């Protein structure tokens, strides 16, 4: 039986009420202490560390606005577009809720991309945080699924034809492709059955998975502790601690970083509301102009492109042509040859590598390039899961890596933006060639990381975090 904590009869009413709740719900108060007031985070966090809390804020915002939109939305192919127009024109403040939700989708991807890039810069995926990173990548996958399914719901021209193109990609999978595409659509074409399936997954199934992954991500993070810009473990076995066992290089998350995050939230909300009130379409990037036209199965838009946050991967998909397959075969041959010749492994493993490469080449020659485009598009996300084992640098943070590493990361960012831009443009010979080069660089960045991340002499890493009060 739980032991009740006593409180002075002269205590304030607020203290008595808090004591009453704590005696009857101690688990909640223990969770608050473990994850907030007694959770020690490194004292040298910078502005890059606000995007995790911003992602949590946008998740709550999307759930709340989604609930209100669901009250008026009709998941019916004949009524869906009209119900969205009803929300925009007749529901009190409906236009604001809809714009908050549509802008929130783009804001979610912006803060998540920045959050992941911060992890890339400071090595937040390295030991002992591999599982934190894997949960984060799983959140990213679930977020992409949630956004794609929600994109169909307005039932505009771009929603309809974008879903038509993406779902048809699954039919390129050998043997099971046509049946899988039929299962996803629920019909032979994108229609009412597809809309109902996507609505149920968007509103119920995927959000539940997303919330579970977010909880797992936070619990795993707080179990091993947060990383910092120096990549130094403040809770390691040799880290300095005070007489209470708290790390000397850490400070309680609350109130210090809650105030830090509130500043970030205020700045974010200023930009967020500015977009909502002055440019909710963002020039056609957040809400495409074709999506204000009802879906028409008989009229194909001149140019079909996904929303901006999918365009880097869509650009990689379009980059895989028949001639690009031969380039990929050459890459497989070179990679397998390098592994067999230079790798320090038993002969049997070298034989397995050679045999696997041979089978892969035969498959690439006999399967349509469209399928390999789908593989490349999916592989561009899946490869992120393996980042903790691809990075072999002796130091975590970019601060202490050789200076030229910053240029490699800079080119990677520029390349990603280039792929994103090309993904929204119509197909052209120059754009196709640039997409192919960008795709090769994207995968080369990760697949060659075990080699290039070890090159150069790292700078000396300090014993304790570097921090200047401000």
Indicate the annotated binding residues for heme b. 101, 115, 202, 217
Please state the residue numbers annotated as binding site.
101, 115, 202, 217, 222
C-alpha distances out from residue 416 to 85, 166, 315, 423, 466, Å: 35, 21, 10, 11, 31
Return the ∠ at Cα 177 (arms to 321 and 319), rounded to 5°. Answer: 15
Kind and range of the H or E run holding 358:
helix 347-366
| Residue whose tokens read 């090595």 | 123
The separation between CA 122 and the C-alpha centre of its own chain, rounded to angstroms, equals 17
CB atoms within 10 A of CB 121: 19
Burial class of residue 425 in the structure, from the number of CB atoms within 10 Å of its CB (0-12 exposed, 13-18 middle, 19+ buried): middle
Structure tokens at 129: 């945080």
Burial class of residue 120 in the structure, from the number of CB atoms within 10 Å of its CB (0-12 exposed, 13-18 middle, 19+ buried): middle
DSSP 204: I
Three-class SS state of 78: coil
Question: Residue 125's closest CA among 407, 406, 384?
Answer: 384
Q: Give the whole-angstrom CA distance, residue 131 versus residue 127.
A: 9
CB atoms within 10 A of CB 430: 9
- Contact yes or no for 153/75 (Cβ under 8 A): yes
Q: Give the whole-angstrom CA distance, residue 16 versus residue 307.
A: 52
Q: Which residues pair with 41 in a beta bridge?
A: 251
Q: Cα dihedral sign for 227, 228, 229, 230?
A: negative
Which distant-in-sequence residues (6+ apart) come within 8 Å of 246 by Cβ?
Answer: 40
Please state the residue numbers annotated as binding site for a ubiquinone.
222
Q: Give the whole-angstrom CA distance, residue 291 versus residue 79.
A: 15
Q: Give the whole-angstrom CA distance, residue 233 versus residue 111.
A: 25
C-alpha distances out from residue 325 to 169, 198, 342, 373, Å: 17, 33, 25, 9
**Residue 127 half-sphere exposure, CB side, CA atoms within 13 Å?**
8
């Amino acid at each position: 039986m739980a032991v009740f904590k006593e409180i002075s009869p002269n205590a304030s009413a607020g203290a008595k009420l808090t004591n009453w709740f704590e005696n009857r719900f101690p688990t909640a108060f223990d969770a608050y202490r473990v994850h907030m007031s007694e959770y020690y985070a490194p004292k040298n966090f910078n502005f890059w560390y606000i995007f995790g809390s911003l992602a949590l804020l946008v998740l709550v915002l999307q759930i709340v606005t989604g609930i209100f939109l669901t009250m008026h939305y009709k998941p019916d192919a004949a009524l869906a577009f009209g119900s969205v127009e009803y929300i925009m024109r007749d529901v009190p403040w409906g236009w604001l809720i809809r714009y908050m939700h549509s802008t929130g989708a783009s804001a979610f991807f912006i803060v998540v991309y920045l959050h992941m890039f911060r992890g890339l810069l400071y090595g937040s995926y390295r030991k002992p945080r591999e599982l934190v990173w894997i949960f984060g990548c799983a959140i990213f996958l679930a977020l992409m699924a949630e956004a794609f399914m929600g994109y169909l719901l307005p039932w505009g021209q771009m929603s309809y034809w974008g879903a038509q193109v993406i779902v048809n990609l699954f039919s390129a999978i050998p043997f099971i492709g046509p049946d899988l595409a039929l299962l996803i659509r629920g019909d032979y074409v994108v229609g009412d059955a597809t809309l109902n399936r996507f609505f149920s997954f968007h509103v119920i199934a995927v959000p539940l998975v997303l919330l579970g992954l977010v909880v797992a991500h936070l619990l795993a993070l707080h179990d091993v502790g947060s990383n910092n810009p120096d990549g130094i473990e403040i809770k390691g076995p040799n880290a300095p601690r005070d007489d209470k066992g708290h790390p000397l290089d850490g400070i309680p998350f609350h109130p210090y970083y809650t105030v830090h995050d509130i500043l970030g939230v205020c700045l974010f909300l200023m930009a967020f509301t500015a977009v909502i009130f002055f440019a909710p379409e963002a020039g056609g990037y957040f809400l495409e102009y074709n999506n204000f036209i009802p879906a028409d199965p008989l009229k194909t838009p001149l140019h079909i492109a996904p929303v901006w946050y999918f365009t880097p991967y869509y650009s990689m998909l379009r980059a895989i042509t028949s001639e690009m397959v031969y380039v990929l075969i050459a890459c497989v041959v070179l990679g397998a040859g390098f592994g067999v010749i230079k790798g320090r492994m038993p002969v049997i493993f070298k034989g397995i590598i050679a045999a696997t490469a041979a089978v892969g080449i035969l498959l690439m020659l006999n399967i349509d390039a469209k399928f390999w485009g789908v593989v490349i598009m999916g592989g561009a996300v899946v490869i992120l899961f393996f980042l903790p084992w691809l990075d072999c640098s002796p130091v975590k943070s970019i601060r202490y890596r050789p200076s030229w590493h910053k240029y490699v990361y800079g080119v990677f960012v520029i390349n990603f933006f280039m792929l994103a831009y090309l993904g929204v443009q119509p197909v052209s010979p120059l754009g196709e060639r640039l997409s192919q080069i960008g795709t090769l660089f994207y995968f080369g960045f990760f697949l060659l990381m075990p080699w290039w991340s070890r090159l150069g002499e790292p700078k000396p890493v300090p014993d304790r975090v570097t921090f200047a009060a401000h």
